[in-house]
Structure 1
Amino acid sequence: MKKAILTIGNTLRGDDGVTAYLGSLIEKEDSLDWQIFYGEDTPESQFHKIREYAPDLIIVADAMTGMKIGSVEVMDLSDDRDYMYSTHNLPAPILISYLKGFCKRVLFLGLTVDIENVLDVNEEVSDEAKQTAKSAFEKVKEIDSIFDDNN
Structure 2
Amino acid sequence: MFKISIKDKLKEEISDYSKLLFLGVGNVLKSDDGVGPYIIDKLEDISSDNIILLDAQTVPENFTGKIRKEQPSHLIIIDACLMDSEPGDVKIVDREDFNNIGISTHSMSLSYFVKYLEQENDFKVIFIGIEPNIMEFANALTPNVKEGADNLIEIIREII
Q: TM over 0.5: same fold?
A: yes
- Which residue does 1:99 correspond to in 2? 117
Query: Identity, % of aligned pairs?
Result: 24
Select 1:55's aligned residue among 72, 75, 81. 72
Question: Given that residues 89 and 145 in structure 2 are in contact (C-alpha distance below 8 angstroms), is that contact kept between their aligned partners in structure 1?
Answer: no
- Which residue does 2:142 correspond to in 1? 126
Deviation at 1:42, TM superposition (A): 0.9
Report the Cα distance in structure 2 between the residues aligned to 1:68 and 1:76, rounded to whole angstroms. Answer: 18
Report the Cα distance in structure 2 between the residues aligned to 1:31 and 1:134, rounded to whole angstroms. Answer: 21
Report the Cα distance in structure 2 between the residues aligned to 1:31 and 1:44, rounded to whole angstroms. Answer: 23
Aligned residue pair count: 139
Report the Cα distance in structure 1 between the residues aligned to 2:49 and 2:66, rounded to whole angstroms. Answer: 20
The SS at the match of 1:70 is coil
TM-score relative to the length of structure 1:
0.79
Q: Pairwise CA RMSD of aligned residues?
A: 2.4
1:54 alignment partner AA: Q
Which runs of structure 2 are paired with 1:1-151 in the superposition (5 Å)?
1-29=18-46, 34-65=51-82, 66-77=84-95, 80=96, 82-83=98-99, 84-89=101-106, 90-101=108-119, 102-114=121-133, 117-119=134-136, 121-141=137-157, 144=160
Report the Cα distance in structure 1 between the residues aligned to 2:90 and 2:97, rounded to whole angstroms. Answer: 20
The SS at the match of 2:36 is helix
Deviation at 1:131, TM superposition (A): 0.9
Structure 2 residues without counterparts, runs of 5 or longer? 1-17
1:60 alignment partner AA: I
TM-score relative to the length of structure 2:
0.75
Deviation at 1:133, TM superposition (A): 0.8
Deviates more, 1:132-141 or 1:29-38: 29-38
Report the Cα distance in structure 1 between the residues aligned to 2:47 and 2:57, rounded to whole angstroms. Answer: 24
Question: Given that residues 81 and 93 in structure 1 are in contact (C-alpha distance below 8 angstroms), is that contact kept between their aligned partners in structure 2?
Answer: no
Runs of 4+ with deviation above 6 angstroms: none
